[in-house]
Amino acid sequence: MNEILNVNELITWNPAQENEHTERILWVEAGGFILYVIDAFSSQGLPISRKIKDVLNAIESGDAVKREDDPLIRVLNENSIKESDKLKRDKAWNIIAGIVKYENEPDVYEREKRGQWVSEAVSGHDVTYSTVYKYLRRFWQRGKNKNALLPDYYNSGGKGKRKTLGVKKIGRPRKNIDANGPGINVDEPTKKIFRLAVNKYYDTPKENFMTTAYNLMVKEFYREDYRFEDGIRKPTVIPIGQIPTITQFRYWYEVERDIKESLTKKKGSKKYALNNRSVLGKSDTDLIGPGSKYQIDATVADVYLVSRFNRTWIIGRPVIYAIIDCFSRMVTGIYVGLEGPSWIGAMMALSNAFTDKVGYCKEYGINILQEDWPSYHVPLAILGDRGEMESYHADTLVNGLDVRIENTPSFRADWKGIIEKYFNLVDEKVKPLVPGHIDISFRERGGTDYRLDAKLDIYQFTQIIINCVLYHNNKHWMKKYSMSEMMIEEDVDPIPRVLWNWGISNRSGKLRAYPKDKVKLSLMPAEAASVTEKGVKFKSMYYSSQKLISDRWFEIARNKGSWRETIAYDPRNMNFIYIKIDNDNYIKCEMLDKRLYNSKTLDEIEYLITYQKLKLDKNQESILQSEIDLFTNIENIVQKADKMTSEQRDKTVSNAERTKNIRERRRTEKGFEKLNSAFVLGEENKNEETNGQLKVIPLKEMQAEHKYPSNIEYLRKKQKERMDKRDE
């Protein structure tokens, strides 16, 4: 029996039967005796205990199954949540935070022990017992994270679906229709005005009020004329019924704009990070077992790489992100890219840490078993430095996955010694074998330029790093690992995977699992892409899907104009992008033309685009000169043609006569052209007499009582002349 039960997993009992029900795992005892669960869909459910062996036996016999999908967990990007919903969530969290803290597990799941904490919350926040239990039930049933407390209507309303606006005004009707009219709908032209007004009058360092921005917008965009008062020209606005209201303006802003983006534009990123972002706390929690705390860090590898587009191009040094479990020293996630340390790189490493590794390794041609790299869990805490992990993007981890973020103090990178040692180990294994590795002798006179030795591309270098991880996790003997008495008694080897498995069996009830697609979608970078008639355009690449074709997105774009959609993407492979419909749903789109960018990373693609642009700029002068030369050649030919036509034109022939019998002349010209261009073996020159040009017959010679000779006569004559010439 190799099943492992993790916190947050859903277990469905008696599948496909009348008494089917689903329970969520809340806590698993170290040592494997009992666990606590809650009915995930019951309006009155409370935690109960079960024996672990009973659950495992039920799964083995088919009386219970692990549920793959999880409709209750919402792993949301913090930027996508409305501020009003955040306020409701935070209010509920403040009421139950003291009850559900980890120190209270597993006692909080026992009714008798839980009562005192609930009573303190009721009296301390002036709420009812039913309110507290409603929040507790919601927290436990929906995945034990802060976002479980978001309002039930959060995903209602058809978010992400485009509404078709007609002539009739939608929404709440105005109170005084007779005086002001019914009002207008906020259509695309109105939204465009809103965006211009917000950027110009509201999201600025001046910190104008919303009403001020609205009035300035009306003054600029909704005037019909001017009037003069006291010598001052003042705008006259159009009828009030044709102007959007301040309520519509404010509602659009709350839906369309992000409060953090707005505050950052008003106050600057530094002031926002200092005064407006949420405070991420530190913890002194001991390392209970695997998943108690991860460390994350990035380093620039001491090796130069070449491009997969052109292996003669040297593209610089890659950045390696690594995440390590502090208890077992197992590497739980990695990411290799070309962009410097940033939140995007950290997100990709975290996404890798929280998901299965078998498929990831297969992408790089490496086949492993689940037990070779068994980590796919969300930890209690992540320790990083005062860089990307201090970014406000980390709020997604805090509120969506219930992860505590800890940051090392300034100038104290030594607090992350575990992961620093890992990077040193990787460097020791890679340096002797990898071409293009930095050589300290390069700076010396006569030293070899190691950059010219670069041979590896980013795909191959990632393969090397994966192999280093597999070695470290499964074979590396950590001589200086501090073993506990219990480990020594049980003769545990100081190898990361051995320690991980031992910790799961003896120490940890903290490993948590989330739906992989939801985790990836919330952590993947998100940007805007354009829906055009050629496909969804993102960074010079075009994408499509059968659903978009069926819904006629591209036909709409061709006839009504393009528009923008928010997409998520995996920088490691740009074959696919994902259009976000809402926080849980997406449309998967595939690259249309993969001949150039197939399976390439975003860094590689952007490098190629930049290179091509630089190459174009470098040759711009010669390109311009060539175009000028082309125009000059064309003008020269036209001038010669004009001169020849003027010399041979019979001015006694009227314009009407010149335009007669165009079809007859065309047939004559075609016949002559065929005869003139026919292949004749043994002749180097088709027409020495005319030097390859058509012999022009004056118009008078062609006239006979204002009639033209027949085509047949003319062609026979020319053919006879040609044959006589050959017989000479």
- Average pLDDT, stretch 560-579? 89
Task: Give the CA dihedral 275, 277, 282, 283, nearest 10 degrees.
Answer: 140
Q: Other CB atoms closer than 10 Å to residue 55's CB: what's the count?
A: 23
How would residue 706 be classed by pLDDT, with cut points 50, 70 and 90? Answer: very low
Q: Give the range with max mean pLDDT: 72-81, 316-325, 644-653.
A: 316-325
Whole-number pLDDT of residue 656: 81
Q: In sequence order, which residues have a C-beta less than 8 Å from that of residue 294 and are 6 or more positions away?
A: 323, 324, 325, 326, 332, 353, 379, 381, 382, 383
- Predicted local distance difference test score (pLDDT) of residue 237: 82
Burial-class residue 208 by CB neighbours within 10 Å (0-12, 13-18, 19+).
middle
Q: Which pTM value belongs to this model?
A: 0.58
pLDDT digits over 527-550, tens only? 899 999 999 999 889 999 999 999
Mean pLDDT, range 476-486, rounded to an integer: 86
| Nearest partner of 385 among 315, 298, 498, judged by Cα | 298
189 versus 727: the higher-pLDDT residue is 189
Provide CB contacts within 8 A for 122, sequence distance 6+: 128, 129, 132
Give the model's pLDDT for residue 91: 92
The 10s digit of each residue's pLDDT in 203-228 is: 776 667 788 888 888 888 888 888 88
Alpha helices in 365-432 (DSSP H): 395, 417-430
Cα separation, 453 vs 456, whole angstroms: 9
CA distance 554 to 552: 6
DSSP 15-77: TTSTT-EEEEEEEE-TTSSEEEEEETT-TT---EEEEHHHHHHHHHHTSEEEES--SS-----
**Is the distance from CB of 306 to CB of 312 less than 8 angstroms?**
yes
What is the spatial distance between Cα 433 and Cα 246, in angstroms, rounded to a whole number? 66
Confidence label for 160 from pLDDT (cuts 50, 70 and 90): very low
**Mean pLDDT value across residues 110-133:** 91
For the ranges 340-344, 359-363, 492-496, 529-533, the lowest mean pLDDT is seen at 340-344
Order of strands, edge to edge, in the sheet holding 10-13? 48-51, 34-39, 21-28, 10-13, 64-67
